[in-house]
């Protein structure tokens, strides 16, 4: 595997150009000359620095021992006499003077020559290491080649660093390989090992009898990497869940995987969310579902599947008799996609969960879908049709389905726009329903009128246990209508009223309700502008024994130290308080408020050995 370390180039600046050093000119006898300086002065020419030094030493020796003054065969006797005469007169001969001068400078000249010779050798070596330039055959431009250098600390360790990075990568892959071979649930999400890493790891799944759930999500896997499963998943029978979400495998990857899974008999849960799958990929998966007999949960959320892809999925539902949960949230089905899917649902008897959030079905699409579900002979238990542009008109079709269904347990209309009129229709339908326990109507522009209708339904409905009304402007009046009913009626265990604009007066109604209610265990009041006064109201209710409320969320409520002090005192005063989780995040406490709450938590633990999680 190639290392991702980049070596930044720089230009090595050589030292100043070497000056040309000439040898010291020494007088020579008439018939004997020293070697020419042209052959030894520059080490870059024919003679090496060593030979130049040798020549200078030899010449000096001849001058010192007088051998240079001996003429051959008696020739030059006049010169010898003149030298003798000069000696007698106290004059040094020219050669002796030169020798003396050389002896004075020799300790400096010889080392300098050696240094210059060594510098030359080093320069030639470095020059070979510097990046040269090669011509790019395609563009004709010069591109650097060889080692790339950088001034950055540690960035010139090209070979060793690359080796170390590759070594570390291999070490991690070996570790992952071992996990797959030994662990039952393997989570490798976000490791970014890519296609090459998957080819290495996939081998461990071939005859693996341990791993039942493998999460490869968010690892940079493409369609090329999916081929690693070929020949592996066909023979693996232990793997039950495979998560490839967050990998851009696209339609080609979906086709390759589908061909492989046709013969797989182990995988029951396949997650392909956010994988860039479009209509072609959806068609390939649908063809696989017609033959595969083990996949019970299929997730295709947040892809680019449109009407054609929904039609393909519908065809698969007509032939498949094992799929239980289908997730296609966040695609582009539209009204036509909903109508096509409705036909497949109508002919399918095994489907239990249908997650269709965020597909832009609109009222027409919902009408076709609800009509098919009402006539459906199967047992749909979970239905998510949130964020589908459903208005009060579309809510009429939803209400009709609510009245008829005998199996639905969980219904979400989150982030539509059914308004008060739609809320009234749903509330009326819930009076006749005896199965739905969770209702999500958050973000539907419901005011106090719509909430009042829902509250009236709860008087006689003992089935609904979870009610989500967040992001609706119900105000103080709406929460009053709800709390008046919940004091002594209903079986609500989880109530979510975040971002509902209830204010301080609304907090007073909630506090009064908590004094009498015996079923509510989770209460969400985030971002309602309660402030210190609202927190003080709720603190008073804590002083009265409430054995049901265990979780209270007061985040984003502009509560300051006074509110924190009141809540802290309430926790200390009631040792039998059932609250185990108190969220006060994103308020305006100082360290004094935080200390007070921390001390209250410690006090409760010391007195009753009960731990309370308080989040600031």
- pTM of the complete model beyond 0.85: no
Q: How confident is the model at residue 106 (pLDDT cuts 50, 70, 90)?
A: low
Phi, psi of 190 (to 5 degrees): 70, 20
Burial of 439 (0-12, 13-18, 19+ CB in 10 A): buried
Shortest CA distance to 430 belongs to which of 448, 456, 452?
456
Calculate the CA 478 to chain-centre distance.
Answer: 42
**At 119, is the pLDDT very low, low, confident or very high (cuts 50, 70, 90)?**
confident
Domains in the chain: ranges and CATH:
37-131 (no CATH), 182-519 (3.80.10.10), 520-616 (3.80.10.10)
Task: Give the residue, 342 or 29, on which the prediction is more confident.
Answer: 342
Q: What is the pLDDT of residue 432?
A: 95
98 or 223: whose pLDDT is higher? Answer: 223
242 pLDDT more than 70: yes
Share of the chain above pLDDT 70, in %: 74
Which residues, including other chains, have CB under 8 Å from residue 319's CB and lie 6 or more apart? 289, 290
pLDDT higher at 100 or 411: 411
Number of H helices, E strands in the chain: 19, 18
Query: What is residue 36's predicted lDDT score, i.e. its pLDDT?
Result: 40
- Higher-confidence residue: 170 or 230? 230
Whether 247 and 218 have beta carbons less than 8 Å apart is answered as yes
pLDDT per residue as tens digits for the range 280-304 = 999 999 999 999 999 999 999 999 9
Report whether pLDDT(2) > 50.
no
Among 1-10, 151-160, 322-331, 568-577, the range with the most confident prediction by mean pLDDT is 322-331
**Residue 440 and residue 447: Cα distance in Å, rounded?**
15
Q: Determine the Cα–Cα distance for residues 582 and 610; give it in Å rounded to an integer.
A: 14
Confidence of residue 108 (pLDDT cuts 50, 70, 90): low
Tens of pLDDT along 536-591? Answer: 999 998 877 778 999 999 999 999 999 999 999 999 988 778 899 999 999 999 99
């Amino acid at each position: 595997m190639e290392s991702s370390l980049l070596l930044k180039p720089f230009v090595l600046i050589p030292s100043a150009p070497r000056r040309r050093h000439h040898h010291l000119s020494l007088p020579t006898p008439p018939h004997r000359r020293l070697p020419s300086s042209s052959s030894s002065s520059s080490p870059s020419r024919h003679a090496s620095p060593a030979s130049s030094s040798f020549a200078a030493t030899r010449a000096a020796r001849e001058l010192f021992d007088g051998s240079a003054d001996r003429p051959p065969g008696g020739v030059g006797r006049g010169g010898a006499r003149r030298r003798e005469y000069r000696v007698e007169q106290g004059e040094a001969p020219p050669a002796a003077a030169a020798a003396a001068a050389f002896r004075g400078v020799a300790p400096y000249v010889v080392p300098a020559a050696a240094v210059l010779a060594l510098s030359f050798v080093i320069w030639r070596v470095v020059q070979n290491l510097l990046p040269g330039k090669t011509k790019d055959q395609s563009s004709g431009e010069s591109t650097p080649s060889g080692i790339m250098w950088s001034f950055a600390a540690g960035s010139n360790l090209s070979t060793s660093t690359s080796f170390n990075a590759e070594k570390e990568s291999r070490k991690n892959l070996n570790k992952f390989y071992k996990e797959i071979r030994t662990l039952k649930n393997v989570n490798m999400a976000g490791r970014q090992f890519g296609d090459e890493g998957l080819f290495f790891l996939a081998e461990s799944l071939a005859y693996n009898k341990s791993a039942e759930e493998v999460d490869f999500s968010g690892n940079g896997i493409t369609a090329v990497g999916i081929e690693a499963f070929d020949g592996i998943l066909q023979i693996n029978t232990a793997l039950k869940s495979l998560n490839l979400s967050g990998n851009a495998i696209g339609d080609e990857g979906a086709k390759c995987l589908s061909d492989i899974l046709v013969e797989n008999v182990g995988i029951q849960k396949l997650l392909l969310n956010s994988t860039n799958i479009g209509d072609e990929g959806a068609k390939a998966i649908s063809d696989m579902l017609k033959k595969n007999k083990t996949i019970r949960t299929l997730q295709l959320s947040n892809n680019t599947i449109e009407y054609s892809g929904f039609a393909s999925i519908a065809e698969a539902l007509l032939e498949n008799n094992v799929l239980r949960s289908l997730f296609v949230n966040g695609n582009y089905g539209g009204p036509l996609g909903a109508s096509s899917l409705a036909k497949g649902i109508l002919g399918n008897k095994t489907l239990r969960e249908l997650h269709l959030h965020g597909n832009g079905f609109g009222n027409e699409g919902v009408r076709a879908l609800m009509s098919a579900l009402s006539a459906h002979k199967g047992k749909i238990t979970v239905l998510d049709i949130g964020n589908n542009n459903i208005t009060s008109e579309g809510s009429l079709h939803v209400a009709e389905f609510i009245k008829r269904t005998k199996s639905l347990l969980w219904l979400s209309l989150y982030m539509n726009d059914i308004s008060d009129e739609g809320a009234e229709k749903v509330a009326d339908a819930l009076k006749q329903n005896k199965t739905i326990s969770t209702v999500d109507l958050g973000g539907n522009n419901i005011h106090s009128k719509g909430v009042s209708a829902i509250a009236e339904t709860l008087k006689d409905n003992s089935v609904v246990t979870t009610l989500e009304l967040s992001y609706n402007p119900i105000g103080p009046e709406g929460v009053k209508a709800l709390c008046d009913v919940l004091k002594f009626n209903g079986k609500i265990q989880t109530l979510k009223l975040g971002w509902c604009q209830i204010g301080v007066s609304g907090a007073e109604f909630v506090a009064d309700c908590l004094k009498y209610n015996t079923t509510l265990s989770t209460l969400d009041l985030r971002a309602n502008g309660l402030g210190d006064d609202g927190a003080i109201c709720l603190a008073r209710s804590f002083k009265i024994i409430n054995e049901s409320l265990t979780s209270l969320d007061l985040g984003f409520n502009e509560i300051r130290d006074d509110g924190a002090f009141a809540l802290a005192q309430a926790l200390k005063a009631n040792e039998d308080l059932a609250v185990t989780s108190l969220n006060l995040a994103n308020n305006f406490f100082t360290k004094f408020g935080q200390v007070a709450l921390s001390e209250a938590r410690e006090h409760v633990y010391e007195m009753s050995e009960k731990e309370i999680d308080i989040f600031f």
